[in-house]
Structure 1
Amino acid sequence: MPRTSRDLSLLALLATVVLWASAFVGIRALGENFSPGALSLGRLLVGAIALGVIAWPRHEPLPKGRPLGLIIIYGIFWFGAYNVALNAGERHLDAGTSALIVNIGPILIALLAGVFLKEGFPRPLLIGTTVAFSGVALIALSTDKDSTAVETASTTGVILCLLAAAFYALGVLTQKPALRYVSAIQSVWLACIVGVVVCLPFVPALIHQLQEAPAKDILILVYLGVFPTAIGFSTFSYALKRLDAGKVTATTYLVPAVATLISWVWLDETPAALAFVGGAMCLLGVAITRVRRRQRLPARAAAP
Structure 2
Amino acid sequence: MRVTFAPPGARQAHLGMLLWAMLVGLSFPAVGLVSEALPPLLLTSLRFIIASLALWALARRAPDWWPSRRSLPLYSLMGLCLAGFFSTMFWAAHHTTALSMATLFVSVPLLAFVLGLAAGVERLAWRLPVILALGAVGALGLAWAESRNGSTGLRFGLGEAGFFLGCISSAMYPVLSKWGLSREWLSQSAAVRTFWSLAIGAVLIGLVGLALEPVANLGVMTPRDALLLVYLGLCSSALTFWLLQRATAALTPGAVTAYNYLVPFVSMLLLFIQHPERTGWVWLPGSALVLTAIALLLRNGRVST
Query: TM range, normalised to the smaller chain?
Result: 0.7 to 0.9
Q: Which residue of 1 aligns with 2:251?
A: 243
Cα gap change, 1:267/1:41 in structure 2, threshold over 3 Å: closer, same or farther? farther
1:7-39 deviation digits (Å, cap 9, x = unpaired): 321221111111222334444443713223112
Equivalent residues of 1:20, 1:228 under 8 A apart? yes
Residue 230 of structure 2 corresponds to residue 230 of structure 1: no
The equivalent position to 1:44 in structure 2, one of 27, 48, 55, is 48
Kept in 2: contact 1:44–1:192 (CA 8 A): yes
**Does 1:129 pair with 2:132?**
yes
Separation in structure 2 between the aligned mates of residue 214 and residue 9 of structure 1, nearest angstrom: 37
Q: 8 Å contact 2:115–2:172 — kept in the other structure?
A: no
Deviations 1:207-227 (A, max 9, x none): 533421232222222221111
Deviation for aligned residue 1:85 = 2.1
Residue 109 of structure 2 contacts residue 171 of structure 2 at CA under 8 Å; is this kept in 1? yes
One-letter identity of the residue aligned with 1:189:
F
- Aligned residue type for 1:200: G
- Structure 1 stretches of 4+ moved >4 Å: 90-100, 149-152, 154-157, 203-207, 263-272
Alignment of 1:277-296 (within 5 A): 277-292=285-300
SS of match in other structure, 2:70: helix
Give me the CA root mean square deviation.
3.2
Instruction: Give the Cα separation in 2 of the matches to 1:286 and 1:136.
Output: 12
Following the alignment from structure 1 to structure 2, what is the Cα–Cα distance between the partners of residues 265 and 203?
Answer: 38
How many Å separate the matches in 1 of 2:267 and 2:226?
21
Q: Which residue type is aligned with residue 282 of structure 2?
A: L
User: How do residues 137-152 of structure 1 correspond to structure 2 at under 5 angstroms?
Assistant: 137-144=140-147, 146-147=150-151
Whether 1:16 aligns to 2:20 is yes
Contact 1:71-1:178 at 8 Å conserved across structures: no
Q: 208-217 vs 42-51, which deviates more?
A: 208-217
Supply the distance in 2 between the matched residues of 1:146 and 1:213 (Cα, whole angstroms).
Answer: 31
Calculate the TM-score normalised by the size of structure 1.
0.81
For residue 249 of structure 1, what is the amino acid of its counterpart? T
**Count of aligned positions:** 288
1:123-152 per-residue CA deviation (whole Å, 9 max, x = no partner) reads: 2212211211110111121123533x6999
2:113 equivalent to 1:105: no
- Measured in 2, the distance between the counterparts of 1:28 and 1:98 equals 17
Q: Which residue of 2 aligns with 1:298?
A: none
| C-alpha separation in 2, matches of 1:268 and 1:34 | 31
Per-residue CA deviation, residues 52-71 of structure 1 (Å, 9 max, x unaligned), is: 13222445342313322211
| Larger radius of gyration between Structure 1 and Structure 2 | 1
- Aligned residue type for 1:82: F
Report the 3-state secondary structure (helix = DSSP H, G, I; strand = E; otherwise coil) of the residue aligned with 2:9: helix
- CA contact under 8 A between 2:79 and 2:197: conserved in structure 1? yes
Structure 2 gap ranges (5+): 1-5
- Residue 46 of structure 1 deviates from its aligned partner by 1.0
Q: Alpha carbons of 1:175 and 1:40: their partners in 2 closer, same or farther (altered >3 Å)?
A: same
148, 162, 185: which one pairs with 2:191?
A: 185
Residues 55, 238 of structure 2: 8 Å contact kept: yes
**Residue pair 2:135, 2:294 contacting (<8 A) in 1 also:** yes
